Structure 1
Amino acid sequence: MKSEWVVQLARLALAGRRQDILMYIRKLERLLHKEDPAASAKLVELLRESPSQSMPLRSASVAAVPVDADSRLNLLRQEWPVMLDSVPTWSEAIRTPLEQVVAERRRADELREIGVAPTRSMLFTGAPGVGKTLAARWLAQQLGWPLLTLDLSAVMSSYLGKTGTNVRHVLDYAKGVQSVLLLDELDAIAKRRDDMGEIGELKRLVTVLLQEIDDWPQTGLLLAATNHPDLLDPAVWRRFDAVVEFPLPDDAVVAQLLRRLLGEELATDDALLAVLIAMMRGQSHAVITRDLMRARRTALVNGQRVEEALMGMVRERVGELRLEQRRKVGLALVQMGLSQRQVHEWTGMSRDTLRKVQRKGAVKS
């Protein structure tokens, strides 16, 4: 990994792209913060001595990004180079198709020799915060390509003709750049064409979008994400080479995520993990990460141990859970060593109910 950093930094330096170098050094500083604090501190000092100029991140392969004709604002968000702070935590059902795409691109010449094209388009579905955008960033990083993001809900205009023009400009631009293009909030535009509430211009735009997906060049990767798959036109589904559903994380994935975020010392506290897994069941990756980071900040500010801040969070929120989930948290708290009286105060569960839950849990184990 470090050799890749050196090569990329050298490439940026030789190209004379100062702003890109500053951005890249900031990302390196974040990655080195734990692994090499001394080097991280030196990078921070260098950045202070060389403040960033007010100019957009640019790449030799990503230039002249299309803009809105009236506002002159960029129609795309661009990220290059793409760097992740840690390895994403996914289930096998998500990781396998993503790794398949990367493997196909690395053997694209062999695929073309047998008359087969690598995956050109993928549709990501799932609730907010489950990792759809993270998956797009991971793919861009693995492929070494820029990530271009078009938020379709943001470019929708009361003047649909203008919206259509903007979307066409973005698609035409992205087709000429070896990149990963992410169409976020796809449902904002690719709605069912039999929806009587939509006018003809939007229906024509959906038709154009479907044609673009069909004709997407092999030199790029087109991704689309939606939180509302039920709103999509049925024709959209079969246009994509692959569809990946991002469910809310199950207990195994939550456990992996907690171990990664809690650090080595707390990651081995099985009793604490059991409480947190029961507490966070049904939450997205983003919400779990947010809550753990908040607990770590609270611990630092209040001079607490992190586990104290985490247990404070559990006590504060357990009463908001559904009864069945509250029972599971209560059982985990008892197994952690809290008395039935304490668990009753935290969860509102009667001691008789706690004893029943304990007996039921003992039978299952």
Structure 2
Amino acid sequence: MASADHIKALLKSHLEGDEQRFYSVAMQLAAHEAKLGHGKLAEELRTLVDKAKQRRGTTSQPVPIGKPRGELAELLSVSYPKTRLGDMVLDDALERQILRIIREQRHAARILEHGLSPRRKLLLMGPPGTGKTMTGSVLAGELGLPLFQVRLDGLITKYMGETAAKLRQVFEATSQTRGVYFFDEFDAIGSQRGLANDVGEIRRVLNSFLQMIEQDRSHSLIVAATNHPEILDRALFRRFDDLLHYELPDIPHIGLVLESRLGRWAEASVSWTCLAEVAAGLSHADIARATDEALKEALIEDTAKISEADIRRMLEERRQVSRRLASHHE
């Protein structure tokens, strides 16, 4: 017969409206019955789950949830992205990694049934503007899950023990509500112990994070992003299921980004390859801003088509802005 834990988990997931969790527990229950030798019952449970999934289309339905309340409202901001993997221009290896994560999550029940775990603890590393934050939106959009962005301004405090306590609230939320929990600028809490600017409180927070992520058994995705992987504590890397590396786009990818964003509004004579060479060294975010500026100017001027010269000018202006911003951070 079903264990008490299975029954409680089924009821809790049903009350919270977390269908993915409900089906996952049901498949675990089927596996449990199969181990006890109740093969017919196990097969009936699997068949019922498969029929329910087909009827409800759970992979495309968002999880019903209100905004975080109380103290969690200061720690998490929630959104329901519609972004899809096709909206990103990625190199082949990174696209395969993200697609594999999405596929494993969509088939999580089957994977869990065999005692395995789908990838769900992810570390994204790379320069600013290369698509790390957008990846969080893509994962939420593709899986029909809410995106919870962890607010570092609410999480990190100067009082001893308070940050670790708030961090525990975030991890408790991952079990209560399935979603994508996104830690941006993760190096703020994940920097190496023993650095020159290390303080005792941050060291305790890192130790707490290491313990919490290792003990986490939720069905949520925990995603951390950093522009500075070189200062992360080495112990962090083995706590994540997958490490995703982001780079500045190369010239062929820049050409694809420019054409996908401006192709329908640009003059037919535009050379995307030439413009890509002008934009070499810019991030995806910089290129996106430059294309938006070119489109806005064309709309204001009521221009029939955007010229190559206009796009080139916006790219060069964005490069100047990027350089000024970089100089302020040095």
Q: TM-score of the superposition, structure 2-length normalised? A: 0.70
- SS at structure 2 position matched to 1:78: strand
Aligned to 1:304: 303
Q: Please tell me the residue identity of whatever aligns with 1:124.
A: L
Instruction: State the structure with bigger RCO (CA 8 A, min sep 6), 1 or 2.
Output: 2
Aligned to 1:61: 65
Q: Are residues 1:89 and 2:93 paired?
A: no
Distance of 1:62 and 1:319 partners within structure 2 = 42
Distance of 2:137 and 2:90 partners within structure 1 = 14
State whether residues 296 and 306 of structure 1, in contact with CA within 8 Å, keep that contact through their aligned partners in structure 2. Answer: no
Aligned to 1:102: 102
Mapping 1:272-291, distance limit 5 Å: 272-291=271-290
State whether residues 150 and 182 of structure 2, in contact with CA within 8 Å, keep that contact through their aligned partners in structure 1. Answer: yes
Mapping 1:194-209, distance limit 5 Å: 194-209=194-209
Aligned to 2:8: none
Distance of 2:315 and 2:214 partners within structure 1 = 48
Aligned to 1:293: 292
Q: Please tell me the residue identity of whatever aligns with 2:87.
A: V
Superposition deviation, residue 254 in structure 1: 1.0
State whether residues 153 and 189 of structure 1, in contact with CA within 8 Å, keep that contact through their aligned partners in structure 2. Answer: no
Distance of 1:99 and 1:142 partners within structure 2 = 10
Distance of 2:154 and 2:119 partners within structure 1 = 27
1:192-213 residue CA offsets vs partner (Å, 9 max, x unmatched) = 0122432222212101101122
Aligned to 1:255: 255
Aligned to 2:157: 157
- SS at structure 2 position matched to 1:224: strand
Distance of 2:246 and 2:132 partners within structure 1 = 7
- SS at structure 2 position matched to 1:264: coil
Aligned to 1:314: 312
Distance of 1:183 and 1:61 partners within structure 2 = 20
CA distance 1:189–1:208, shift in 2 (3 Å): same
- SS at structure 2 position matched to 1:77: strand
Q: CA RMSD in A?
A: 2.8
Return 160-169 or 239-248, whichever deviates more: 160-169
Aligned to 1:332: none
Aligned to 1:145: 145
Q: Which runs of 5+ in 1 are unaligned?
A: 1-14, 16-57, 323-365
1:146-174 residue CA offsets vs partner (Å, 9 max, x unmatched) = 11110335632232433222222122112
CA distance 1:296–1:200, shift in 2 (3 Å): same
State whether residues 187 and 231 of structure 1, in contact with CA within 8 Å, keep that contact through their aligned partners in structure 2. Answer: yes
CA distance 1:153–1:231, shift in 2 (3 Å): farther
Q: Which runs of 5+ in 2 are unaligned?
A: 1-16, 18-61, 321-330
